[in-house]
Structure 1
Amino acid sequence: MKYINVAINLPVKNLFKQFTYAVPPQLDHVDVGWRVVVPFGYQTVEGFVTSLAAAAPAEYECKEILATLDTRPWFDAEMLATANWLSEYYLCSPAEAMRLFIPGKTSIKRQAVYNDEGKLIAYDYENKLKIKTRICFVVTKAGREALVAYNKRLRAQMHALEVLAEAERPLSGEELASVQVSAATLRILCEKGWSERSEQRVLRNSYANRTELKESLHLTDEQRQAVEAIGSAITEPHQETFLLQGITGSGKTEVYLRAAAQAMEAGKQVLLLVPEIALTAQIVKRFQAWFGDEVAVAHSKLSQNERADVWYKMRTNSAKLLIGVRSAVFAPFSDLGLIIIDEEHESSYKQDERPNYHARTVALKRAQLSGIPVVLGSATPDLESFYKARQGTYTHLRLLQRANGSMLPHVEIADMRLELQRGNKSVLSAALNDALLQTAVQGEQAIVLLNRRGFSTFVMCRDCGESIVCPHCAVALVYHSAGEAMRCHYCGNTAPIPDECPNCHSRRIRFFGTGTQKAEAEIAELPEIRILRMDQDSTVKKFAHEDILKSFSSGEYNVLLGTQMVAKGHDIPNVTLVGILSADSTLNLPDFRASERTFALLTQAAGRAGRGDRAGHVVLQTYDPDNPVIKLAATQDYDAFAASELEIRQELGYPPYTEILKITVLDKEEVRGSSLAQRIVNFLQTLQLEHPEQELLVLGPFPAIVAKVRDLYRMNILVKCPQMELVKRALWNSEFKECRNVFFDVDPVSVV
């Protein structure tokens, strides 16, 4: 009997153990990498075969696997190696790592089976992934002979045979009906043996028929040099990481297109990662114009079945180029030859749920295992990437000029302290107000960035100062005018607007701060303004991002207001003005990356202006106009910012000069959670004493900046170490690894 070890795919974080199963003779082909259906207790679950076992286990009864979920192994050698690395690097179970590679958290749906007395006896299952098929027809040899003989009395049948004979592929009933071939005629052809019918898989494509004409631009010298450098790593395949640093509007996408074309001409597949679903529409159009049906798209708004079809295209080489958000990094490829990561600095590449992987880190690992190049593109690179380029670990490619020869926009800093002194209580400074009016009169367009959703940021009692907070989270509720309700942006809890203060019962309740809905209402009052809002509330529906951008690009609206998603990647020639409200809102967060995030967001937002043949203008509103980060963002001087910030990072011992691990303990009881967190700190401090040469630093425990979410108190511990392997190994072998309420965030993008 053959035995295999299986990682059980259940939604639990502490199931690190793998279980041995017997393989029945009819499934003897099952080996490492297969997905199988196995009995587990009283359940029927999906499992991943991780290795072969020498014998049956002595400590428990060895059950047989029930079935397979595919006709071939799901995981190839590279995917298995990546999953094993991911489990060790991010301190998660093998099953947690492996389920990232499948389209959906599980591929089977369990169903309870009851006896006649209503007693549960077992769980049955069905495959959640539904393959879409259609009936197709082909002409047979006998049919071709009948067509040569041609019987004029069978005109309809002869016509059908002509259509089938001319086709180079099987034709569906719908396709044949469109050329006047009826179902009755097809039935007769099959009865005579002149045609054969078969069932063929239909691959869903939400982006079908969305192509535009191919636009091939003349490369600048800088772009050409970048394409040649990347091309050398494609034509003579080897692992090399390129940091493509280009100012906004310098034509990084054109470099991506040329590099992708070279890889595809060499018979290779390409993965292009983008940070936001909002960015997929415009970049997909450009790539589809070049490569047509060779392009597949994956993002969070696709259904599980649509995602499964995308994964099938890449695995079977039916598509050559995959564009997707961070989860696309786990797609199965037939022959991957190039990975491109656009806006590589974006924090949205980091998964905020366990396992807390970073798509860029995973992509670099897959590239290393496959021996292929990676292109990291950004106008404001992640400081760790920039440091590696400066050290020579990455090949640094720079685009210092805009591709169309235009200048970077003029940036005007509006001091909101002076605006208040002058009696201006609007969300708009006088400068931005005037600029919006002028832009509308001239028939041009503007983008306004405000990084807050909702109508007002918080609601407060003017008598006692009490804010209206979420009963489940330690955070203020945000007022949303749509639905006249208050909403928690952490747990989604909604509550009606109170008539009186819950603390002192005063009726003097006031709305404070500004959200996108309030800003929208105020800007809409300006003459000639036709405003459109894009934030999480307005983009719930599938393709909502694309529809909003299409309406704006067409000129139907002349102002686009939104959160971060309006600041990145959009290339709309008629946008000549960008307004940035509350430019310093994220600057003073207690996080070592606050300055970097602020600089990147302001620079990216400013870069949306003046990308056509008209000069761009940016109004940057702030209460801290003398802050060096604000000033450097206004001049878009990345190198000066990076030099200053890296010096601070080195002094304080932050990445890239050290590695960080954030440990979070969650508990319904604050005291119990704090006690467990302190035990972890004691464990790490003992490790610190045993290895003084490691420069290990343990900070905490301390409450998270939002100390309670969904009724769970959150305690954080920060660990700093130049090489984190010792700490990871110690935690892997500790009791804390399998604690359900302990979470490890390796290389966190935020320490709060």
Structure 2
Amino acid sequence: MFAGIIVNSESIALDKIFTYKVPEDLEDKLKIGQIVNIPFGRGNKLVMGFVYSINNEIQSDYNKIKSIHSIKIVEETFTEDNINLIEYIKENYLSTYLEALKLFIPTGILSGARRKTKMVLYTGKALDDKYDKDPYKSIFNLIKFNEGKFIKNDICQRLNISTSPLNTLIKHGYITAGDKVVNRYNTREYEAYLKKDLSEAQKDVFNEIILGENNVYLLKGVTGSGKTEVYMNLVEEYMKRGKSSIVLVPEIALTPQMVERFKGRFGRDIAIFHSRLSDGERFDEWYRVKEGKAKLAIGARSALFLPFSNLGLIIVDEEHENSYKSESDPKYHIRDIAVFLSKNNNCRVVFGSATPSIESYHNARNGEYKLVQLNNRIDGATMPLITLVDMREELKNNNRSIFSKQLYEEINLRLSKKEQIILFLNRRGYSTFVSCRKCGFVFKCPNCDISLTYHTNGRLICHYCGHQEGSRNTCPKCSSSYVKYFGVGTEKLEKEINKTFPSARTIRMDFDTTRKKDSYEEIYKTFKNGKADILLGTQMIAKGLDFPNVTLVGVISADLSLNLPDFRASERTFQLITQVAGRAGRDKKLGKVLVQTYTPEHYSLQLAKNYDYEGFYKDEIKIREFMSDPPFSKIMLINLSSEKEELLINKSNDVAIHLKKEYKSDEFSILGPSPCIIGKIKSMFRWQIIVKGNIANDTAHNIKNSVYNLIKDVYNDIRINIDINPNNLL
């Protein structure tokens, strides 16, 4: 018996399957997905490996094959059913075996994460006359009526005694001790979230997804149209069929609301899975799914790889969001993984959004997905009126405030009516950059080619590498005192709100205020329960949240996303404006949205103002086709970085020259090399080469191998980062 083993090493040279003999004493125990100890290399050092296959025949020389030493972790971290997906990820995203299979392994298991237990007490044999008296009798009776609930300290504290009599009872068998698993996941009860009658439109969508012949659906539903209620009915239907479901959300900030609703409807047996959980909590949720004790998982991207054995439904809410594309290896996209699972597991996939990605809508128009729509809000609620406020006119009228006159008046009006307000600004910090007005010097990060952001704690912080330094009142270049803080971040916005509207109760939700565990849920509850009047924040407040008393949404600056040097800038601006606008007027009160901008004439803003997704798609798809951008092509981004700038430039040129010579094709073009838009991050200079067009998988792998071969002589000095269809080209 032989096993194919993936070695736990990130070395590209070791990215292959190694064959090992299976000792006779392990033949009945060894399973695919287990972690084993294996002798490796000339010194036969024991290293960890993952059992990837088990065979009875091999083509290698039997005598040269080493044997597995022992099984290190008995739990099957992945199964034979996962192998096809691992191979798919390796093939389509240029990943290694190890990077792909680690998607299925709960964080912490390699470093020893296990189920947590505690020693609890039970009664043993009946007390005889010698011990049928206090304190022995009190101890025995307390445990008798609370079998398996108390540890030693609980008993001693309750009865205010020492451990001596308790140890005596244990010694003579009157009390026994045993291990009990401690669950490290959310078991609290939630307020019941009653099932609602579906509207005719919701019923049509539900029936189409349940009864239709397609496996992949795009649910395009305006904000407030009741997509979540459709999701719940779909999950309920698949539960009746004995099938499991996964509901994915793009932001951890959305998880508390989704958990509240689903646990309120279906009870506590729902697994929650996202990066803010501890290793122990993630392991327990993973184990609960593996044991079949949870039939539904809610979470971020990683929840899709939980070990469900009978998966029937995958729901991807807000499918257009960037966070569904992994930025670390393997750089997969949830959309592709879900479609792959629909074919291989014969499960239904529902992509939901008010503003679908151009790629998804294109797929729906071409028949790859089945399009279903909810075009109206539920209960007759109307879409809020969106008004574009030209900030150039505000400047002409000598208004240099963060707030336009109209937004100022609307905030005051809502505060007087005891209604709630959401203010959106997609930039954290206090001032976005600090500059000298005399010589133009900008305070930049010494490690990154990016300006430092001023925060109210008096620190200048780099949002890329975390570098911090104290703020200064004099210019280090010309020594003048004309140092000024430019731009607006969420901290400055909060300060201006407190100054301009002193009676308003304001809370802020951004990366800085949500570092602590459960901070998302605390902010969400505070605003939901009416304990704050204004919620301000970055894009984490722009989608999914449902607050009936919010009647005003203000977008402080729509131009931040519009002016990014990226072909998706217009799409993201349209989506952000439409999504954040959808937070207003979700109940019976009318909503209003004010969008402050210096470019109100831009087509994405004009079409967002009228909720004209179809018009936006038609304009945008023409530009994409003309420029040969996705979905009409594939982009392969090759990023090279090094602390040695001259070496990096020389090697980038060598690589580009070789690729252009070796891979001439009418199917794709090779662009560059050129410096990245952000030329340095964390002391590493950055250059890039872009391959754009119809790139076959085998060609992409050959290009990757060529790049690594060309860099191998300076591999310790240059890092390589390759991404297929990246989120951005920064």
TM-score strictly above 0.5 = yes
Q: Contact conserved, 1:4 with 1:31, CA < 8 A, in 2? A: no
Q: Give the 3 Å change call, closer, same or farther, for CA 171–282 of structure 1 in structure 2.
A: same
Q: Does 1:412 align with 2:387?
A: yes
CA distance in 2, matches of 1:307, 1:52: 29
Counterpart residue number, 2:118: 134
Q: Give the equivalent residue in structure 1 for 2:35.
A: 35
Residues 148-547 of structure 1 aligned to structure 2 (within 5 Å): 171-173=148-150, 198-205=178-185, 207-232=186-211, 240-482=215-457, 484-525=458-499, 526-547=501-522
Q: Tell me the SS of whatever aligns to 1:680.
A: helix
Q: How far apart are the structure 1 equivalents of 2:682 and 2:692?
A: 29
Q: What is the TM-score normalised by the length of structure 2?
A: 0.90
Shift of 1:485: 0.3
Query: Does the 8 Å contact 2:120/2:150 carry over to 1?
Result: yes
Between the aligned partners of 2:211 and 2:650, the Cα distance in structure 1 is 56
Counterpart pick for 2:628 among 653, 658, 667: 653
Q: Secondary structure at the match of 2:671?
A: strand
Moved more, 338-347 or 709-718: 709-718
Confirm or deny: 8 A CA contact 1:45 1:108 kept in the other structure: no
For 2:722, the equivalent position in structure 1 comes to 744
3-state SS of paired residue (1:619): strand
Shift of 1:187: 9.1
CA contact (8 A) 2:32 2:80 kept: no
CA deviation digits over 1:602-648, x for unaligned, max 9?
10000000012100011100000111111111111111101110111
TM-score of the superposed pair, with normalisation by structure 1: 0.88
Is the contact between residue 340 and residue 376 of structure 1 (CA under 8 Å) also seen in structure 2? yes
Q: 2:205, 2:58 → 1: CA distance? A: 55
Segments of structure 1 that go 5 or more residues without pairing to the other structure are 110-127, 165-169
| Inter-partner Cα distance in structure 2 for 1:598 and 1:191 | 71
Check whether the contact 2:123–2:140 (CA below 8 A) recurs between aligned residues.
no
Q: Structure 2 CA distance, aligned partners of 1:665 and 1:60?
A: 43
Contact 2:679 2:686 in 1 (8 A): yes
Distance 1:622 1:194, change over 3 A: same
Take 2:54 and 2:81, find their aligned partners in 1: how far apart are those partners?
18
Per the alignment, in what secondary structure is the counterpart of residue 585 of structure 1?
helix
Alpha-carbon distance in structure 1 between the residues aligned to 2:492 and 2:12: 41
Go from structure 1 to structure 2 and tell me whether the alpha carbon gap of 1:67 and 1:431 turns closer, same or farther (over 3 Å shift). farther
Which residue is equivalent to 1:25? 24
CA contact (8 A) 2:116 2:181 kept: yes
Contact kept, 8 Å, 2:668 with 2:692, in 1: the verdict is yes
SS of equivalent to 1:199: strand
Alpha-carbon offset, residue 732 of structure 1: 5.0
Aligned match of 1:81 in 73, 81, 84?
84
Letter in 1 for 2:179: E
Measured after TM superposition, the shift of residue 36 of structure 1 is: 1.7
Q: For 1:229 and 1:69, how far apart are their aligned partners in 2?
A: 48
Q: Deviations over 1:410-456 (max 9, x none)?
A: 11111111111111111111111111111111000000000111000
Given that 2:91 and 2:697 are in contact with CA atoms closer than 8 Å, whether structure 1 keeps it comes out as no
CA distance in 1 between partners of 2:300 and 2:687 (Å): 30
CA distance in 2, matches of 1:624, 1:73: 56
Counterpart of 1:167 in structure 2 is none
Amino acid at match of 1:457: T
The answer to whether the Cα contact below 8 Å between 1:436 and 1:446 also exists between their aligned partners in 2 is yes
1:298 partner amino acid? F
Q: Decide which moves more: 552-561 or 244-253.
A: 552-561
Structure-1 separation of matches of 2:527 and 2:364: 37
Tell me the amino acid that sits aligned with residue 132 of structure 1: K
> 2:53 — aligned with what?
51
2:96 pairs with 68, 75, 93, which one? 93
Which amino acid letter does the alignment assign opposite residue 689 of structure 2? I
Q: CA deviation at 1:520?
A: 0.6
Relative distance call for 1:575 and 1:174 in structure 2 (3 A) is farther
Query: CA offset at residue 584 of structure 1?
Result: 1.5
- 5+ residue gaps, structure 2, are none
Distance 1:736 1:495, change over 3 A: same
Q: 1:585: how far off?
A: 1.3
Residues 505-561 of structure 1 deviation map (CA, whole Å, 9 limit, x = unaligned): 222111000011111100112143111111101111001011011111111110011
Judged with a 3 Å threshold, the aligned counterparts in structure 2 of structure 1 residues 293 and 467 are, in CA distance, closer, same or farther, namely same
For the structure 1 residues 60 and 477, does the alpha-carbon distance in structure 2 shift closer, same or farther, using more than 3 Å as the test?
farther
Relative to structure 1, the CA distance from residue 68 to residue 404 in structure 2 (aligned partners, 3 Å threshold; closer, same or farther) is farther
Q: 2 CA distance for matches of 1:595 and 1:45?
A: 49
Shift of 1:229: 1.8
Displacement of 1:714 in angstroms is 1.2
Aligned twin of 2:683:
711
Whole-angstrom CA distance in 2 between matches of 1:676 and 1:706: 19
Q: Distance in 1 between matches of 2:403 and 2:63?
A: 70
SS in 2 for 1:432: helix
1:744 to partner: Cα distance: 1.2
Question: 3-state DSSP class of the match of 2:380?
Answer: coil
Q: Which residue of 2 aligns with 1:112?
A: none
- CA gap of 1:446–1:620, structure 2 versus 1, over 3 A, is same
